[in-house]
Amino acid sequence: MTKQFNYKLFTLLNDFAPHPGILYFSKESGYYNFPEHIHKDFFEIVFQLEGNITHNINGQRINLSPGQGLIVAENDIHSLSGENVYFANLIVKMDFWQQSCSHLNLNLNFLSRTKNDSIKLFSFDNYREEVDDLLNTFCLNMDGSYSSLYLQKLLLFTLMELKLTDLNPIKKRDKIPEWFRNVCNFIDDHLESELNITELAKGIDISPEHFARCFRKYTGNTPTRYLNKKRVEMAKLLLLQSDKTISEIALECKFRDLPYFYRCFKKQFGISPGKIGSVKSS
């Protein structure tokens, strides 16, 4: 039987209920599967950040690659599965759209589509930094007085990208080269070591410029930002699984500047490292 989810179930904390929308980031190692369910009184915008994931919406299979997104409408029957994925989900209450955004007069077929309608993708591949900034700004301000304004900006961006995708269909992404996969695996296996991006590029006889271009192309991040994100993810696991202090974990993950570690952590997960302890004990 299809499950019916209330949007509040997706939150790490329980104090987002009064707000028009929420955002959460999901980083899944290994195989990930979310069972079939129906959204009630909200719609969802998915931004695929890393890895490939398959959504099943009303019986249609849609494969999302990094830099692509889609909208799951109210009453869509939805499930998803993938392996080693990282994505952001923006969940928007229907009454917020109707009260605050309907005057924009944009084509909103996704809000009232039938089960036979095709599912449209949008691409944000050329605007990864802008999207990251929009997502993280909203995430950090969900409980602030400007949350509705930041949410409107995200909705406007998504709807404009849907319109542009109609004019410029998404092209098939290039196959990721083997050397790049090997470099990413090396980084993942040596997060606790001193890693020099320039030396990594030299070690495989690739110019730093081409090295950086490939990282932006295949991950949407600069090499340094990719490394920091991986280290912050490792720090989160250590916070959940060990009794070490935040300072000890930051140093273990090669963040020598504690305020910088706090900024990176909160930007990526939307909460400070200190709040992880309360989540762990709850």
Q: How many angstroms separate the CA atoms of 176 and 160, rounded?
A: 28
Determine what percent of the chain is predicted with pLDDT higher than 70: 78
Does residue 279 have a pLDDT over 50? no
What are the CA-CA distances from residue 62 to residues 57, 70, 119, 124 (Å)? 8, 9, 8, 17
Q: What is the pLDDT of residue 74?
A: 80
Does residue 11 have a pLDDT over 50? no
Strand partners, 50: 86
Extended beta strands in the chain, E state: 3-5, 21-39, 42-50, 53-57, 60-64, 68-72, 77-93, 121-123
pLDDT tens string 84-111: 888 988 888 877 776 665 555 554 555 5
Helix H or strand E encompassing 150: helix 147-167
Q: How many angstroms separate the CA atoms of 267 and 269, rounded?
A: 6
Q: How confident is the model at residue 7 (pLDDT cuts 50, 70, 90)?
A: very low
Q: How confident is the model at residue 18 (pLDDT cuts 50, 70, 90)?
A: low
- Say whether pTM exceeds 0.75: no
Crossing angle of the two packed helices 258-269 and 273-281, in degrees rounded to 10: 60
CA 32 to chain centre: 15
pLDDT tens string 214-247: 888 777 778 888 888 888 888 888 887 788 899 9
CATH number for 3-167 (one of 2.60.120.280, 3.30.530.20, 3.30.160.100, 3.40.50.620): it is 2.60.120.280
Does residue 253 have a pLDDT over 80? yes
Residues in the chain, overall count: 282
**In the chain, domain spans:** 3-167, 178-281
pLDDT tens string 29-82: 777 888 887 777 788 889 999 888 999 888 888 888 888 888 888 888 888 888
Q: How many angstroms separate the CA atoms of 28 and 34, rounded?
A: 11
| pLDDT, greater one: 2 or 99 | 99
Would 3-167 and 178-281 be classified into the same CATH topology? no
Task: Please name which of 160, 137, 159 lies closest in space to residue 147, comparing C-alpha atoms.
Answer: 137
Strand partners, 71: 45
CA 277 to chain centre: 23
pLDDT tens string 64-77: 888 888 888 888 88
Residues near 86 by beta carbon (within 8 Å), at least 6 away in sequence: 25, 26, 27, 28, 49, 50, 51
Does residue 261 have a pLDDT over 90? yes
CATH number for 178-281 (one of 3.40.50.720, 3.60.20.10, 1.10.10.60, 1.10.340.70): it is 1.10.10.60
Does residue 199 have a pLDDT over 50? yes
Q: How many angstroms separate the CA atoms of 71 and 121, rounded?
A: 8
Q: What is the pLDDT of residue 192?
A: 85
Residues near 13 by beta carbon (within 8 Å), at least 6 away in sequence: 271, 275, 279
